[in-house]
Structure 1
């Protein structure tokens, strides 16, 4: 099971690294800027989670995460140099997949060290959202977390689905899958139908 979680983690890092590379392409950054933006997007949320939980930061002794980041950057650069442009929604779709993976992975890690369900869901939100926040701030954009369609809410829903399924002793693989699907589907639906939480009248 630990191997499966590790591969999910690497996949999430790669997907978020791709989204960071897409933003770097959009902002015309140089090669170093591309790697930095991809890296902070891929590992930023998990780093914050581990610091708060007082756990060893997950990438410090595991070079496979940087291999995943560099692989994602290289593949993205090759594709972008061939295509010259990217579909307008591709970045948000890539971000949605990363969000789904990391929201549940963060929740799972917190629960695995004995955190209560509420705290675990919050850790899932931080894991899923914080890398994207750093990416957008460095790129000079308002973070997706703070604008537009449902974002952090989707992480909360996915985390709740995961923790509730685990409370009924559902297999961890099934619980993770349903949690990820919940986050992904709600995020994609929010993008498609422009679901937002309005509090101000404009």
Structure 2
């Protein structure tokens, strides 16, 4: 299986940009966690817990599997981003009692775009194969949202109707293929993120799915 070999041509993106992309993804997922807490009418502690696990859950699992230091443990900027995003969302929600139905899905999609591509790149930086890198990127994107939904006693979004995990795999694959075609890191990242986001938003709008089972009764004994 092919393994990623970083080159000076592809590593032209300053680490500061990578860090800021990571923080933006954390902030957006913190917003989605806060929105989920608002829907469930949680208290202040519940809001912070849900915002935090949504924002750093996927990245933490990725780093543990890669056997590298968990990124937020030595960097308080991640918690500053989480608390700032949660506080801003709380203030806005207190002034507006209703929000559009797809708002949570919209912010979740943006968070996916950031986290999947950043997770894919981090896996590549640690010498994984292309396939494993895409899986790590997908895991980075979906794990935090899965924890959020389980804590809210809902079926995780990744297991619902519209395309979800497939969009993560698609975005990660686009990112790798663009780099293999000779693009530098920043254009490849932007194209991977935009491709993932466009497909996810299209799936939400037009309810795109990959059907496996047709409509059926819950009793396996029935025809």
- Fold in common (TM above 0.5): yes
Structure 2 partner of 1:107: 120
Counterpart-to-counterpart distance in 2, 1:89 and 1:75? 19
Q: How does 1:151-162 map to 2 (within 5 A)?
A: 151-162=164-175
* CA displacement at 1:168 relative to structure 2: 2.3
Structure 1: tracts of 5 or more residues without a match: none
The TM-score normalised by the length of structure 1 is: 0.99
In 2: Cα distance, 1:201 partner to 1:186 partner: 23
Alignment partner, residue 70 of structure 1: 83
In proportion to residue count, which structure has more helix? 1
Aligned residues: 202
Correspondence for 1:124: 137
Instruction: Note the residue ranges of structure 2 that are not aligned, 5 or more in a row.
Output: 1-13, 216-223
Given candidates 97, 101, 122, the residue that maps to 1:84 is 97
* Match of residue 38 from structure 2: 25
Aligned to 1:50: 63
Q: TM-score, length-normalised on structure 2?
A: 0.90
For residues 150 and 64 of structure 1, what CA distance do their matches in structure 2 show?
A: 32
**Greater Rg, structure 1 or structure 2?**
2
Q: Distance in 2 between the 1:85 and 1:55 partners?
A: 42
Residue 202 of structure 2 corresponds to which residue in structure 1? Answer: 189
Q: Distance in 2 between matches of 1:172 and 1:110?
A: 14
Q: Give the equivalent residue in structure 1 for 2:151.
A: 138
Higher mean alpha-carbon deviation, 163-172 vs 191-200, is at: 163-172
For 1:192 and 1:104, how far apart are their aligned partners in 2?
Answer: 23
Instruction: Note the alpha carbon deviations across 1:3-56, whole angstroms, 9 max, x for none.
Output: 001000000000000000000000010100000000000000000000000010
Partner residue in 2 for 1:149? 162
**Separation in 2, partners of 1:117, 1:200:** 31
| Corresponding residue for residue 61 of structure 1 | 74
CA distance in 2: counterparts of 1:54 and 1:149, whole angstroms: 32
